[in-house]
Amino acid sequence: MNQLRLFGTDGIRGVANEPPLTPDLAYRVGRELVVTLAAQHESEHVRVVIGRDTRRSGPLLEAAMVAGLLSAGADCFSVGVLPTPGIALLTRGLDAHGGIVLSASHNPFEDNGIKLFSSNSTKFPDVWEDQIEARVKAPDAAPRARGAAIGRLVTYERAEKYYVDFLCRCFPLDLAGITIALDCAHGATYRVAPSVFRRLGARVLVIAAQPDGTNINAGCGALHPDGLRKRLVAASADVGFAFDGDGDRLISVDHLGEIRDGDYALAIAARHMAQQGRLQTNTVVTTVMANLGLDECLRAAGIKMVKTQVGDRYVHEEMQRMGANLGGEQSGHLLFPDYSPTGDGILSALALLAVMRESGEALASLATCMRKFPQVLVNVPVARKPPIESLTGVMDRVRAFESEMNGTGRILLRYSGTESLARVMIEGSDEARIRAMADELASAIRTQLGQ
């Protein structure tokens, strides 16, 4: 087995059917997951839920993983294609010990991943991942069930209805008279998202809802919302929502065609919840990628903000520690734990619609609460990931640029937790100047670490 670390910030990611993300690995992870869950829950009989997005490689990895689970004696409930938050929800709803999502979220279709959820629908604890990783890299000592002890495979055909019912119960809105445009990224939301909004009475226009296994996230969805913007403007729709491939992110478009990311959603939801006395600890938890405009907006409303490193699991952990009930990322991964313990793009869209309905304001009007600072993000492919601080020439330029901005902007350098990329993010008042700064830093990183 490959001795490089398998688990990143969001499970195991890689190119499907290439090391490390091979059917062999999926089989072993399945077997060792059973051992870990049995030990943690002190249970002799493990139940696991498994689902996937629309990638071509999903059935391949699912078949291998299910074989591993069954061979170690676990019962496996297969829910098919369903958004990540729906699979997490069903893990709890079916009283399973753990859940598995086969998805690479917003990544290209060639990639895939293995995400694990605990019995309470939250991301798998790091220490449990470490145990699985250690066992996968050692000789296979997981039990081999025999006869009637071999696990059962159950196709759970009510999964989609269960999830749609749940979302409509969370926000039983009357959306009659509203036209909503949806971009489903040819991904896991392609059936359930239209179903939810239509059930609530909206007129729904849908794009990117014909998955063929290779078009997931391809020029559409939360990472590419311009297609949704054009469809919305052409149809004079009231609001638009774009999801990513596995359905845990949301990017919105207002009726004027302006794209509104997770920072806008957090600002709008926080102010509304605070006004109603529902914002616990009067705090929003976000990440270091949040725009300075969000700081400014929340400060003006008397709301505190706490920042974590990038990754929804870190936001969630800090929210739990503080008792906060609103958090998320600029990327559109939002957390509303009063309703669901994991990020959910459809639920986030419903939360925004609830604010619109209760306030009587359009999304464009609500979004005026925040003035966004120009922000430039450059991704640099890298062959290795030494500590950023060790890149002497790069850090010298960072210090020089920070001195030039004199407190009116900020620079953030970090590595992606799921891809071989270094990310250069700069915010400031002069967009042309921060673009030049970002390009110069990206060039310096490319020179030292380029593939």
Predicted confidence (pLDDT) per residue in 392-415, tens digit: 889 999 999 999 998 888 999 999
> Could you say which of 141, 159, 177 is where a domain stops?
159
Rounded distance between C-alpha atoms, residue 424 and residue 436, angstroms? 12
Q: Which residues contact 267 (CB under 8 A, 6 or more apart)?
A: 294, 297, 298, 367, 369, 370
Are both 147 and 175 inside the same structural domain? no
On whether both 39 and 150 belong to a single domain, the answer is yes
Does the N-terminal peptide bond of residue 225 adopt cis geometry, omega within 30 degrees of 0?
no
| Boundary residue ending a domain (334, 369, 404) | 369
Residue 1 falls inside a structural domain: no
State the pLDDT confidence band at 1, using cuts at 50, 70 and 90: very low
Say what percent of the chain tops pLDDT 70: 99
Residue 2: per-residue pLDDT: 45
Task: Report the pLDDT value the prediction gives residue 202, as an integer from 0 to 100.
Answer: 98
206 and 350 housed in the same domain:
yes
| Of 53-57, 261-265, 381-385, the least confident | 381-385
Identify the pLDDT of residue 312: 86
Report whether pLDDT(10) > 90: no
Say yes or no to pLDDT of 217 above 50: yes
Q: Are residues 35 and 154 in the same domain?
A: yes
Domain count, the chain: 3
Q: Based on the domain organization, do 354 and 429 belong to the same domain?
A: no
What are the residue numbers of the active site?
A: 105
Q: Which pLDDT tens digit goes with each residue over 103-160?
A: 999 999 999 999 999 999 988 988 999 999 999 999 999 999 999 999 999 999 999 9
Question: Any idea what the CATH number is for the domain that residue 400 is in?
Answer: 3.30.310.50
Expressed as residue numbers, the domain containing 445 is: 375-449
Quote the pLDDT of residue 371: 92
The overall average pLDDT reported for the chain is 95
User: Given this model, what pLDDT does residue 112 score?
Assistant: 98
2 part of a folded domain:
no
In a domain, residue 164? The reply is no
User: Which residue, 131, 159, 187, sits at the end of a domain?
Assistant: 159
Residue 4 gets which letter from DSSP?
S
Residue 195 predicted with pLDDT over 50: yes
56 φ/ψ angles, rounded to the nearest 5 degrees: -55, -35
Which pLDDT score, from 0 to 100, does residue 418 have? 75
Q: Is residue 154 in some structural domain?
A: yes
Q: Mean of the pLDDT values across residues 33-45? A: 95
Compute the C-alpha angle 313/395/382, nearest 5°.
60
Q: Residue 326: CB partners within 8 Å, gap ≥ 6?
A: 266, 269, 270, 273, 279, 280, 284, 285, 319, 335, 336
User: What is the CATH classification number for the domain harbouring 320?
Assistant: 3.40.120.10
Question: Mean of the pLDDT values across residues 5-28?
Answer: 94
Q: Are residues 234 and 360 in the same domain?
A: yes
Amino acid 163: pLDDT: 98
pLDDT tens-digit series, residues 315-337: 999 999 999 999 999 999 999 99
Whose tokens are 């430039």? That residue is 376
The confidence band for 3, taking pLDDT boundaries of 50, 70 and 90, is low
| Residue 308 in this model has a pLDDT that exceeds 70 | yes
Q: Is the pLDDT of residue 298 over 90?
A: yes
Residue 26 included in any domain: yes
